[in-house]
A and B are shown apart, each in its own frame.
Chain A
C-alpha cells in the first residue's frame, strides 16, 4: 500500500470535489466539459488513485496511518 485506506478515501473525495468545482471555474473561461466526460474523467481519476494506492512499494513499507 502506498497510502492508508482512510487517506485514499479522502483523496478520492477531494479530487471529486475539485473536479466539480473546477469544471465550474473552467466554464467561466469558456471551457465547457460536458457531464458525461466529467463523469469519465472522475472515473479515471479514481482508478488512477486506487491503482497508485495499492501498487506495491519498492522500498520498505512505511508506517501507515
Chain B
C-alpha cells in the first residue's frame, strides 16, 4: 500500500496525540485519583426502598472521622432529603438511587454528576471547601415536570454543622393537679459526643439542663411542671437545643370539660 510521505508524518502525529490524550486521562484517574462511578454498590429494587435501612429514610450520616454518607432518593420530581445539609472540608459520599424513572443528580458548575437509575446505586465522593448553598438539579429528562426537579445542597462550616435531632412531646391535656411531663429526646448523629444545654419553657416556667449525648445515640430529658401553678387553660411550651426548637401546647382542663371533651371523642 502506497502512503504519501506527508501522510505518514500526519498519521504518526495523530497517533501521538491520541496516545497523549489517553495518557492524560489515565493520569487523571491514577495520579489524581479521579475515580469513575462504578458497580461496587449493591442493587436495590425501587419498591423496596421504603424498607431499606439506608434509603428508607434518605439522610446524611456520619460514617467516620471527617467522613459522611448522604443517601439520596430521586423521584418525580423531587430529591429526598431536601435540603441536603453537609459539612465543609469533609469527605461526603453520595449514594443516589431512583424510585421510579431514570433521573440525574447534578450540581451545576461542579463535577458532581451522576445518573440515578432505578435498581442501581450511584456512589460518588466529593468534598466542599467552602460553606455555601448549591443548587441540585435533575439533568435527565424524567417526565412532564422535569424542569421543576431541583433540590438544594447546604454546605455548613464544620463548627456549625451537626446531626442533632430534637423531638419533644407532652400530653395534650392534663387535669388540674396533675404533673405536666415534657419529654425531650436529643439524638446525636455524629460520632463525637455532643455537649449541650437543653432549655425548656412551659407556660411561664423555665427549665435548664446540661446534657451530654454520646456519639450515635439519644438521650431523654424530662421536665415536670405543676399544672395547678399554671392554671386552667392552654399553655405554650418550647424546648431548645442549640439551634433546634420544638414547640407545642398543653391544655389544663377542669374535670367537667374534660368529660365533655372525652364524650366528643368517642
Direct chain A–B contact by Cβ atoms under 8 Å: no
Interface set of A (CB-CB < 8 Å, partner B): none
